[in-house]
Amino acid sequence: MPRIALGSIFTECNQLGGAPLTLAEFERGELSRGEDVLKATAGTVGGMLDALRAGGATPVPLLVASACPGSEVTADCYTTLKTELLERLRASLPVEGVLLALHGSAAAENAGDLEGDLLTAVRGVVGPTVPIVATLDLHAHVTRTMVEQATALVAWETYPHRDAFTTGARGARLLLDTVRGKCHPTMAMVKVPVVTAAIHGGTDGPSPFADVMRFAKWFEGRGRVLSTSVFLVHPYLDLPEMGSGALVVTDNDLPEAVDLATRIANLYWARRRDLEPEVASPADAIERGRRIAGGPVLLVEAADCCGGGAAGDSVATLKALLVAGGTDRAIVPVVDPRAADVCHRAGMGGTVEFELGHQVDPRWGTPVRVQGTVNHLSDGKFRYRGGIFDGQQGDMGRTAVVRVGEIDILITTHGTYDWNGEQLEAVGLDPRGVKFLVVKNPMNYNMAFRPFSTGVFVLDTPGPTPATVKGVPFRNFRDPWFPRFEELEEPRFWVYTS
Ligand SMILES: [Zn+2]
């Protein structure tokens, strides 16, 4: 029975804004160690455990830590998590392989390429011959270091992300085949400088990203191709060599891996213009939304996406709704710990008045003064059904719903990842009953609300997760890239090989 070490440090980081990730965010998310790790039945780690057990291997649990995205992981926090994971690994030796559930776009204050740094450290402990397989989000920023230090990398293939479990299992099976000498992974990552938001990055319906994914997946399992992954790079990092493309793992055939990854990256480049979304101002979207019969009309404030690392504290769309006036019912989520505290002190039915918004990350706007009635109070706990955090508890912290005119404002202490409308359900807000529903994510609203919505407008508002990154002044990412350099006809290619 091969002994396989299993660990995870998982989050996505935003280098344009948001609030730093400390140990408290991981404690509020997921932080399990040793035997507790073995209890996971869902998510990437659950899938890894399932496949290891089915494959006759003994999982050796290290540390599993995950947090809702934010800005960078603090140096203290990363050092603490990394040190514990490595200590547990050293204490577990010898192992025949290592499985890591990673994101690929995490960044620490003391390690810009967090996953590259972690893989290097793990490689340092187990030595050059023990296979290491890591799973990644398809929004990973795959670096040369990651490709050189890992034996194989496999990424999720769905967005909205529904396949954490099966990807964990795929990674585990590939590792076991490698450990048993059934295959010898060789790997190539080829990227082109396309940096777009994820609005058209879905894999469900017709979309440019879905087309590239289908093309890539056709090759998986054929000939010597062990795994194909397509990446739409998390566009809110600011690191060298940001790009999107493909990673191909072959059985001892590096030229084939390079060749196929290049073909997929070429297709990605050809579809780049289809990835840029159309955007509207909040005022324009509200005016056009009013001409649509019924609701909800979705106002997609993508720039304030907690799942992409933003603070969730923008009131840009709320301001436009207040200015527009009228009798349209609306729901707007805003993260504001201070306002949540005021509501809890006022109690149910209390009247409150405060400056709301832009308190956590004040770089993107100014607060708005609101007066209203407290209609709901809770501890903000809820449970995710499906997705990457399937079965886990979400924690908005102290939460309130304040009615301002016809608008219900969901005020929370902490930002949380949006999956399938769990937050609204937890506080008893019915999205079917309103004219306008403000959503703050670029994709999962399609699954949660679009089936019963009457219209959708993707908004152009200030924030660290904008719907188009055309105007983002990257400092560390210096290469010409699409869409900023719209006229760029020939891409440059970054090619990393194992
Ligand atoms: Zn993702």
- pLDDT tens for each residue of 200-254: 999 998 899 999 999 999 999 999 999 999 999 999 999 999 999 999 999 999 9
Assigned CATH for 184-277+474-498: 3.30.70
SS3 246: strand
* Residue 440 CA, ligand 1 centroid: distance in Å: 15
Cβ contacts of 220 within 8 Å, gap of 6 or more: 226, 227, 228
381 Cα to the center of ligand 1, angstroms: 23
Q: Per the structure block, which two tokens stand in for 176?
A: 């076991």
Instruction: Give yes or no for residue 452 having a pLDDT over 90.
Output: yes
Please give the Cα distance from 29 to 67 (Å, whole number). 5
Tokens standing for residue 204? 């469900």
- What whole-number percentage of the chain has pLDDT above 90? 99
Contacts of residue 14, defined as CB under 8 A and 6 or more positions apart, other chains included, come to: 69, 70, 71, 236, 237, 308, 309, 310, 464, 465
Contacts of 86 (CB under 8 A, 6+ apart): 121, 122, 125
Distance 351 CA to ligand 1 centre (A): 39
By DSSP bridging, strand 3-10 and strand 97-101 are: parallel
CA of 14 to the centre of ligand 1 (A): 13
Quickly list H helices, 279-373. Answer: 282-290, 316-324, 337-346
Cα-to-centroid distance, 138 and ligand 1 (Å): 6
Dump pLDDT digits (tens) for 37-83.
Answer: 999 999 999 999 999 999 999 999 999 999 999 999 999 999 999 99
Cα 80 from Cα 418, distance rounded (Å): 28
Around Cβ 372, how many Cβ atoms within 10 Å? Answer: 22
Structure tokens of 377? 């109070």
What is the distance of C-alpha 110 from the center of its chain?
A: 21
Quick check: 458 and 174 in contact, CB under 8 A?
A: no
Ligand 1 center from residue 482 Cα (angstroms): 20
Burial of 357 (0-12, 13-18, 19+ CB in 10 A): buried
Phi and psi angles of residue 338, each rounded to the nearest 5 degrees, phi first: -70, -45
CATH no., domain 1-182: 3.40.50.2300
Instruction: Compute the distance from residue 155 Cα to the ligand 1 centre, in Å.
Output: 10
With contact defined as beta carbons under 8 Å apart, do 493 and 191 qualify? yes
What's the CA-to-centroid distance between 159 and ligand 1, angstroms? 7
Q: In what order do the strands lie in the sheet with 368-378?
A: 351-356, 368-378, 399-404, 407-412, 330-335, 436-439, 297-300, 455-458
Segment (H or E) for 4: strand 3-10
Q: Report the alpha-carbon distance of residue 206 to residue 425 in Å, rounded.
A: 29
Q: Residue 494 C-alpha to ligand 1 middle, in angstroms?
A: 22
Residue type present at position 290? R
Spatial contact of 400 and 374, defined as CB atoms under 8 Å apart: yes
Residue with tokens 């607060």: 367
- What is the 66 CA–ligand 1 centroid distance (Å)? 14
Which one-letter DSSP state was computed for residue 463? S
**Span from the CA of 417 to the centroid of ligand 1 (angstroms):** 11
Give every CB contact of residue 285 below 8 A, 6+ residues apart in sequence.
Answer: 297, 299, 457, 459
Assess contact for 99 and 45: CB atoms under 8 A.
no
Tokens for 132, please give them.
Answer: 């290491």
**CA 113 to ligand 1 center in whole angstroms:** 17
**CA–CA distances in Å: residue 404 to residues 240, 370, 414:** 45, 7, 21
Q: Is 147 left (phi over 0), alpha (psi -120 to 50) or beta?
A: alpha
Tell me, in angstroms, the distance from the centre of ligand 1 to residue 498's CA: 24
Question: Which residues are found with C-beta within 5 Å of the ion, ligand 1?
Answer: 137, 139
Q: How far is the CA of 414 from the centre of ligand 1 (A)?
A: 20
- Residues sharing a CB contact under 8 Å with residue 273, sequence separation 6 or more, in sequence order: 482, 483
Cα(158) to ligand 1 centroid in Å equals 9
Cα(376) to centroid of ligand 1, in Å?
Answer: 31
HSE-CB at 343 with a 13 A cutoff on CA atoms is 32
* Ligand 1 centroid, distance to 234 Cα (angstroms): 8
Least Cα distance to 346 among 396, 395, 397, 400 occurs for 400
- Mean pLDDT, the chain, whole residue set: 97
258 Cα to the center of ligand 1, angstroms: 24
Both tokens of 374, joined, read 């407290």
Instruction: Note the Cα 491 to chain centre separation in Å.
Output: 26
Q: Do domains 1-182 and 184-277+474-498 have the same CATH topology?
A: no
Contact 275, 202 (CB under 8 A): no
Per-residue pLDDT, 205: 84
Local confidence band at 430 (pLDDT 50, 70, 90 cut-offs): very high
Residues 380, 395: contact at Cβ < 8 Å? Answer: yes
Phi/psi at 71 (5° precision): -80, -145
Query: Residue 407 C-alpha to ligand 1 middle, in angstroms?
Result: 31
Please state the domain extents for the chain: 1-182, 184-277+474-498, 282-458
- Taking the centre of ligand 1 as the mean of its atom positions, its distance from the CA of residue 295, in whole angstroms, is 28
54 C-beta neighbours (distance < 10 Å), count: 12
| Cβ neighbours around 33 below 10 Å, total | 15
CA atoms within 13 A on the CB side of 415: 30
